[in-house]
Amino acid sequence: MSDYKTDFLHEAKEFVEIMNQCFLRLEKGEKSAIDEIFRAAHTLKGMAGFMGYKNLENLCHKLESVLGKFRDREVGEDIVDILLLSVDKISEMLCKIENDNCDEVDCRLIFEKLYEIEEERVEKEVENANLKIEIKIAENCQMMGVRGLLILETLRNICEIKATEPEENKIEDGCAFFTVYARGNVKAVDEALSGVSEIEKYSIRELNEDKKFLEISEMENRTELREEIREEKRDFISRKSEDVRVDVRVLDTIMNLIGELVIIKSRLLQIASKHNIQELSEAINIMDKSITNLQDEVMKVRMVKVERIFNKFPRMVRDLAKRLGKRVEFTMEGLDTELDRTVLDKMSDPIMHLLRNAVDHGIESPKERIMIGKSEIGKIKLSARREKSNVVIEIEDDGKGLDLEEIRKKAIEKGLISENSNLSEEEIKMLIFIPGFSTKDVPTEISGRGIGMDVVKTTVEKLGGSLKIVSEKGKGTRIKINLPPTVAIIKSLLVLVNDQVYAIPISNVVEAVYVDENNWKKIHGSPFLFVRDNLIPAFKISEIFGCEDGSGRKVGIIVEKESEKFALIVDSILDQQEIVVKPLTGFLSKVKGFSGVTILGDGTVVPIIDISSLLGGDKFG
Amino acid sequence: MQTMRGETVQVIVFKLGDERYGVDISQVREIIRPSLITRIPNAPDFVEGVINLRGQITTIVNLRKRFGLLPKAIDNDTRIIVVEYNNAVIGMMVDTVNEVKYLSQKDIEALPSIITAREEAKFLKGVGKLPDGLLILIDLNKVLNEGEVEKIK
């Protein structure tokens, strides 16, 4: 609900803004503006009605009907004044809604004014009258009609009454608000009226040829009101500044600039240490602190709550379950968990695929569930939480779980693996992420075409994350997605291969070992690294990249990809550093094995190795 | 039409082997000497690698290799013409950059399709006639378009 309210307020404020601008245009004689105001007021009315803000709805309704009268007539300055006042009232209401969640604002005055214009009572030309006196009798007045007549009598003594609104006999019946057109002296009228008790307020206007008018008490009253509104508006503006909408591209640009700063900083550090300049080092250290702070702040700005995309899932799961004739209880946890906006936006579709799968493949039909002794209602849980520096998103269901035998059979049938291939349980589970894999014989509308799951895997890996399936047949499935909170700046290992530096993201690295005769094994021509009784397939980076093999003792970097370990053989490890990822463009955007490049402190460009595309493709071949 | 004919274009004249080429100056951002080029393994063979051009990653295309000529080692005369193409910054490595020439439209002759249809001539836009000889105008759209690269493969 709170979400809707924020959205409502956002939009309502925009409409108020539109109305403000349009009224000003209207004042300048632009007739088309009235249609725009009309639309804005109408939409706002609808929104307010939907949200249950009666007062606001009423005011908008009134505004709308008043505007209807002016579609084909000149709109004077004073009318626009009143209309603007009502717009101010609307923003006052919005303020109130924002703070106290209610729209109870005193708007009797504005309603009266609007009523007046609607009834075309304003500026009614009365012959020979030079004064327009508006009088409001106190609400608690005992005999309103009598009081009204008394007032008229008083006025008659000092000036000539030309006409009254409404008619005199109506005033006699009791009318809290009436207008008198008269000929006389302003001062005298003012003096006379100020002496009458039970008048809540009154205003006297001089009707001149040029229609300039003088307002006395009402003027004061109105200024006060304006002042009040303005004041409220002021803190309304200051509150608004806490919630500025920023184009995500602007944030990206700022992030890039900070990236540049980080690069320049390490460059300066190198210079300082090279020339051994103490003072410079100190200055750089201070700068470093500021840059780190700046970076953290921008990172924070980029962070959004997972709620933003999670909120659309309950409806989706509900609709889907209904269509499939299943009963599902869907729960979400950790909605406050924050994730980089880019990461989150990219995860939206994958999570949707996984949830669809859970409903379609995971949860059994109610009949089946009762038969196997489960509760009729299946449970699906979507949760997010922070784990160390990463964010974990989990999708869990208590459905039938993965049938490993079935998956294996399907994979062989579809020619994804050979009949005698020996895969571990882990590997079999990962098969469901291969393009073209589906255990459902007849694809349903929702899932089962074998697309989707591979998209999930590639998206997660592209974001530098990993994916794990825990499943037990008959009990349920849990898919755990591990994501780095941000993608722009990553920690990485700098390695040397044939005098060229490469960066390997730390998130992929498990450990590093020296390579010697004891652990370097060749089995049937393929090299392996023997680490703590485990045989790990090894790849020489120099071979993959087709360059000369460097000399000296080699280092094996053990990396993890889809819960499988590989060893990358490099010449040496240089450093561990935070690097800024810069994408490769143009001709190089399709080059396999790299997620981008980075610039080191000394200005050299270093390619960043992308483990999954580097070793991808030949895994199940 | 008369005014069109009278318009002049400024071209940067560079050399690959003995041949003179020209590229419209409005497309050129700057001309630099080659700095440290980082090779990107698995890249198309005419891509030399990337350089750091004041913080901007710039892909370097070896124009000799792109045009199917024999490669030549980098020497003192080697220059990189940096152009902006499709929002990306790309450097074209050439043997040497000679001069800037003014070329009036009437001195530019489009190549007949019988020539441009040929594989080795498809990067060419036209021929400029100068007092001291002919100048081949290259078509950046063709030289630097990724789609074109796909076709080669």
- Give pLDDT tens digits for A477-534: 899 998 876 666 778 899 998 888 999 988 788 888 888 877 888 888 788 888 888 8
Q: Grade residue A220 by pLDDT with cuts at 50, 70 and 90.
A: very low
Percentage of residues in chain A with pLDDT exceeding 70?
85
Q: What DSSP assignment string belongs to B46-104?
A: TEEEEEEETTEEEEEEEHHHHTTPPP----TT-EEEEEEETTEEEEEEESEEEEEEEEE
Q: What is the pLDDT of residues A386-435, one digit of tens each?
A: 876 678 999 999 888 888 888 888 778 777 777 777 777 777 777 777 76
Contacts of A369 by beta carbon, 8 Å cutoff, 6+ apart: A363, A375, A376, A377, A378
What pLDDT score does A127 carry? 58
Answer with the residue of higher pLDDT: A151 or B119. A151
pLDDT given at position B31: 92
CB A355 within 8 A of CB A313: yes
ipTM, two decimals: 0.81
CB contact under 8 A, B47 and A592: no
Contact (Cβ atoms closer than 8 angstroms) between residue B103 and residue B109:
no
pLDDT tops 50 at residue A239: no
Residues of chain A contacting B146 with CB distance shorter than 8 Å? 586-587, 589-590
Q: CA A182 to CA A130: how far, in whole Å?
A: 6
**pLDDT given at position B79:** 93
Residue extents of the structural domains in chain B: 8-140
Residues of chain B contacting A605 with CB distance shorter than 8 Å: 36, 38, 49-52, 57
B43 contacts on A by Cβ (under 8 Å):
587-588, 591
Q: Which positions in chain B have a beta carbon within 8 angstroms of at least one beta carbon in chain A?
A: 36, 38-44, 47, 49-52, 55, 57, 59, 61, 85-86, 88, 90, 144, 146, 149
User: Nearest Cβ partner of A605 from B57, B144, B146?
Assistant: B57
pLDDT value, residue A186: 78
* For B40, nearest residue in chain A (alpha carbons): A607
- Cross-chain Cβ contact A587/B44 below 8 Å: yes
| Residue B48 Cα, gap to closest chain A Cα (Å) | 11
Whether residue A91 contacts residue A84, with contact meaning beta carbons closer than 8 Å, is answered with no
Q: Is residue A64 annotated as part of the catalytic site, yes or no?
A: yes
Could you read off the pLDDT of A337-395 as tens digits, one per residue? Answer: 888 887 888 888 889 888 888 888 888 888 888 888 888 888 999 999 887 667 899 99
pLDDT averaged over every residue in chain A: 77
| A205 compared with A531, residue with greater pLDDT | A531
Q: What is the mean pLDDT of chain B?
A: 81
Query: In this predicted model, which residue has the larger pLDDT, A475 or B153?
Result: A475
Q: Is A165 annotated in the active site?
A: no
Could you say which architecture CATH assigns to the domain B8-140? Beta Barrel (2.40)
Which residues of chain A are within 8 Å of residue B57 when distances are taken between CB atoms? 582, 584-585, 597, 599, 605
Catalytic: which of A55, A130, A357, A482?
A357
Which pLDDT belongs to residue A393? 93
Nearest residue, CB atoms, B55 vs list A544, A586, A599: A599
SS (H, E, C) A87-151: HHHHHHHHHHHHHHCCCCCCCHHHHHHHHHHHCCCCCCCCCCCCEEEEEEECCCCCCHHHHHHHH
Name the minimum distance, in Å, from the CA of A579 to any CA of chain B.
13
CB contact under 8 A, B42 and A545: yes
Higher pLDDT, A18 or A375: A375
Check CB contact under 8 Å for A605 and B52.
Answer: yes
**CB atoms near residue A419 (< 10 Å):** 9
* Contact call for residues A336 and A385 (beta carbons, < 8 A): no
Contact A399, A324 (CB under 8 A): no
Q: Which of A42, A198, A329, A560 is catalytic?
A: A42
Among A582, A603, A607, beta carbon nearest to B40:
A607
Using a CB-CB cut-off of 8 Å, the residues of chain B touching A594 are 40, 42
Per-residue pLDDT of A49-66, as tens digits, reads 777 788 888 888 888 877
Beta-carbon separation of A587 and B57 below 8 A: no
Q: Give chain B positions within 8 Å (CB) of A590.
A: 146
The residue ranking higher by pLDDT, B20 or A153, is: B20
Other CB atoms within 10 A of residue A57 CB: 19
Of the two residues A248 and A98, the one the predictor is more confident about is A98
Between B43, B52, B61, which is nearest A591 by CB? Answer: B43
Peptide bond into A366 cis (omega under 30): no
| Residue B114 distance to chain A (closest CA, Å) | 28
Quick one: pLDDT at residue B54?
75
The answer to whether the Cβ–Cβ distance between B40 and A594 falls below 8 Å is yes
Q: How sure is the predictor about A120, in pLDDT bands with cuts at 50, 70 and 90?
A: low
pLDDT for res B119 = 65
- Hey, are the CB atoms on B59 and A546 less than 8 Å from each other? no
A20 is known as an active-site residue: no
Shortest distance, CA B151 to any CA of chain A (angstroms): 13
Inter-chain touch A585–B88, beta carbons under 8 Å: yes
Across A2-6, A131-135, A420-424, least confident range: A2-6
CB contact under 8 A, B146 and A547: no
At A20-55, the pLDDT tens digits run 777 777 776 777 777 778 778 878 887 887 777 888
Write out pLDDT tens, residues A251-279. 778 877 887 787 788 778 888 888 888 88
Give the number of beta-carbon pairs within 8 Å between A and B. 70
Note the pLDDT tens digit of each residue in A434-472. 766 665 544 454 444 445 677 788 788 777 777 888 888
**Cross-strand pairs, B89:** B84
